[in-house]
Chain A
Amino acid sequence: MGISIGTYLPPWGTERARVPGYDEDALTMAVEAGRLAIGEEVGITRVVFVSRELPLLEGGNSAPLLAGLRLGRDVEVVERIGGAPATLDALTSAAPGTLVIGVDAGSAAGAAAALVAGSNPTSQVARVQRSMPQRTRLANGQPGFNDDDPRMLREIGVRASIEAAGLPGKPLAVAGLGARDAASWSAPDAPALPTVGASSVLFAIAALTEAGRSGLVAASEQAALSAANVDVSTGAVRRHERPVQPPVKRRQTPGTGVRVSLAAYDRAFEAKVRWQAGKCTKCGTLAMPPRYHCLGCGVDDSWEYTPLPYTGTVYTTTTVHVPVPSLESPYTLAVVECDGVDVRVLMHVTDMPPGTVKIGGHGRLVLRRVAMRSGVPDYGYAFSPDMPDKDKRGGAQ
């Protein structure tokens, strides 16, 4: 009950800032964080996906998001463009059964999700909408204005908004600012945050929950500010934050692009993005992808979807080093045996430098953007090798 929080950081970048892998975008990161927040909870009726890097403006992020989160196709999805204040507003106004996900998929990347189950333990204290467009991004997604003057932002942006908000005291954390500014506006011992955008305020609440500190939390973006009281006493946090490693140098080879067949995309979607095999209703034989004719008992057209396990073992693997038009080399492929079932699937290996997995290695199966095809993100599952125990942090599932 209360708030269940999941956090995800891509394994690439530096200690200061993570960056998404070549196969990650805001949607795959939202799924990583969202799954951790959901855990075993059921009854989720609404998902609010807050980011300034939504993969598509038209064409639909909602269906692959729900499929990756393993939620029903009838769940309402709100795609909200915004930063830290937008995420905090979504959280304070969330009815029970709402999953709020904030994602930053540019520089300083990360995702965090909060599931409100039972009564909402956050309450809005202040909201100030002022205009301070020091940095703009245009409707086509391209950068517009960028006036990098931190002092101007601090004085007529953040300071003026905090004063206008009339906060009852210094917040325990101010999300959305760089580390130095955040520290100067916060009460002592404010948590260090890995991001400054939509996910940052949920990272702040996650850290306060772990520290058992209830109180005022603020979220800032340019001159917009929201603040809320957060009762963390009933909260829980699950993190998936692998140790950081430098991004792998990959060579992008020019090409004509990977084209999409929408009919094939549609036929594969339920199996590929919801990670379900076809199960023969007569003999139980699994097929991935599903088959018309059962190879186990020979019956025709008699199968139903059944969930596949999200863990597996490498049956065989190879790393492609040569340039491949429209792809980035090197990359590692693996045929993965799903744990406990007689199903093998070909997939990319992710989250580790190419060529580092071995036959017999164990790992998780995670939603990734397998390819960009004619402007369509193609989502599917990839193999994420388990970390050695000493490097583990939090409860990855």
Chain B
Amino acid sequence: MKRVAIVGAGMTSFGEHFSLGIKDLVPMALSEAIASVDKGFERRDIGAAWMGEVGATDGHAAGILADSCGLLDIPVTRIENACATGQDIIRQAIYAIASGYVDVAIALGADKVRDTSSSATFWDWMALTRDMAWDFPLGLVAPANFALPVSRYLHEAPATREHLAMIAVKNHFHGVKNPKAQLRSEITVEQALNAPMVAEPFGL
């Protein structure tokens, strides 16, 4: 197997981006990634591409990547693997390069969840992610989905809610340094612990 390296990366900022469609955001991220490669890189050198998208906006994801980025003559594949989708597209690209099938591959993830009103988006999203008869009607929102195992974990392990708060503090700390992060402010453990509740034990 060949060794594989990540040689460039690009991304848009995180936000609602009402004025930008997924066909704007995807090429923005790819162009920035190509521009970031040390000593330059030609788009025509891309041998295959993987597109990660959980939802579906403005059409089939692989076609959007191929069309909006001018990748018309290479294999383009859409991957969906819930919250692990981004990692999975990197894994697919690594397999392709390590096996010798291509020399350069693109892994690009995008989701555009704010193209419908917030009152409709929720159930559209739930329909994609939940069993229609068993989970869908219960209101198993994403925070609750993770709160259930974490509640059990806090019950079984010596970990406490303070430890969860420390993770939030760490995440905010790194967000400050990232100009494209959605939230760029530091918080304290006390602020995290006292935040309004979303789904116990998770606060805002």
List chain A positions with a Cβ less than 8 A from chain B: 253-259, 261, 264-265, 267-268, 272, 289, 315-322, 324-327, 331, 333, 335, 346-348, 355, 359, 370-371, 373, 378, 380
6 examples of A-B residue contacts, CB within 8 angstroms:
A316-B151, A318-B201, A320-B144, A321-B196, A324-B141, A370-B137
Q: Which chain B residues lie closer than 8 Å to A320 at the CB level? A: 139, 141, 143-144, 198-199
Number of A-B contacts (CB under 8 A): 99
Beyond known contacts A272-B134, A346-B140, A380-B137: 20 more, CB 8 A cutoff: A254-B119, A255-B120, A256-B119, A264-B133, A317-B148, A317-B151, A318-B201, A319-B197, A320-B139, A320-B143, A321-B200, A322-B198, A322-B199, A324-B139, A325-B118, A327-B139, A333-B144, A333-B148, A348-B138, A359-B152
Contact in complex: B132, A355 (CB < 8 Å): no
Q: Which of B68-84 contact A (CB under 8 A)?
A: none
Contact in complex: A289, B134 (CB < 8 Å): yes
Q: Which chain B residues lie closer than 8 Å to A378 at the CB level? A: 137
Contact in complex: B147, A318 (CB < 8 Å): yes
Smallest Cβ-Cβ distance to B132: which chain A residue? A264
B161-204 interface code vs A (CB 8 A; 1 in, 0 out)? 00000000000000000000000000000000000111111000
Smallest Cβ-Cβ distance to B153: which chain A residue? A316
Q: Which chain A residues lie closer than 8 Å to B120 at the CB level? A: 255-256, 325
Question: Which of A272, A316, A348 has the most CB atoms of chain B within a 10 A radius of its CB?
Answer: A316
Given the known A-B contacts A261-B133, A272-B134, A318-B199, are A359 and B123 also in contact in the complex, defined by CB atoms under 8 Å?
A: no
| Cβ distance A320 to chain B, nearest Cβ, rounded Å | 5
Q: Which chain B residues lie closer than 8 Å to A257 at the CB level? A: 123
How far, in whole Å, are A253 and B155 apart by their CA atoms in the complex? Answer: 31
Q: Does B67 contact A (CB under 8 A)?
A: no
Given the known A-B contacts A254-B119, A256-B120, are A333 and B140 also in contact in the complex, defined by CB atoms under 8 Å?
A: yes
Q: Which chain B residues lie closer than 8 Å to A346 at the CB level? A: 134-135, 138, 140, 148
Q: Which chain B residues lie closer than 8 Å to A261 at the CB level? A: 132-133
Contact in complex: B134, A331 (CB < 8 Å): no
| Cβ distance A381 to chain B, nearest Cβ, rounded Å | 11
The 10 closest A-B CB pairs, nearest first, are: A268-B133, A371-B137, A318-B147, A316-B152, A264-B132, A264-B133, A325-B119, A261-B132, A255-B119, A321-B197
Contact in complex: A255, B123 (CB < 8 Å): yes
Contact in complex: A359, B139 (CB < 8 Å): no
Q: Which of B97-154 contact A (CB under 8 A)?
A: 118-120, 122-123, 127, 131-141, 143-144, 147-149, 151-152
Q: Which chain A residues lie closer than 8 Å to B133 at the CB level? A: 261, 264-265, 267-268, 272, 289
List chain B positions with a Cβ less than 8 A from chain A: 118-120, 122-123, 127, 131-141, 143-144, 147-149, 151-152, 155, 196-201
| Cβ distance B97 to chain A, nearest Cβ, rounded Å | 35
How far, in whole Å, are A315 and B131 apart by their CA atoms in the complex? Answer: 21
Given the known A-B contacts A325-B118, A359-B151, are A259 and B139 also in contact in the complex, defined by CB atoms under 8 Å?
A: no
Contact in complex: B138, A371 (CB < 8 Å): yes
Given the known A-B contacts A324-B122, A359-B155, are A347 and B138 also in contact in the complex, defined by CB atoms under 8 Å?
A: yes
Smallest Cβ-Cβ distance to A345: which chain B residue? B134
Given the known A-B contacts A259-B127, A331-B139, A355-B200, are A318 and B144 also in contact in the complex, defined by CB atoms under 8 Å?
A: yes
Q: Which chain B residues lie closer than 8 Å to A253 at the CB level? A: 119
How far, in whole Å, are A380 and B131 apart by their CA atoms in the complex? Answer: 14
How far, in whole Å, are A259 and B147 apart by their CA atoms in the complex? Answer: 25
Contact in complex: B141, A322 (CB < 8 Å): yes
| Cβ distance B87 to chain A, nearest Cβ, rounded Å | 25
Smallest Cβ-Cβ distance to B147: which chain A residue? A318
Question: Which of A256, A320, A326 has the most CB atoms of chain B within a 10 A radius of its CB?
Answer: A320
Contact in complex: B137, A373 (CB < 8 Å): yes
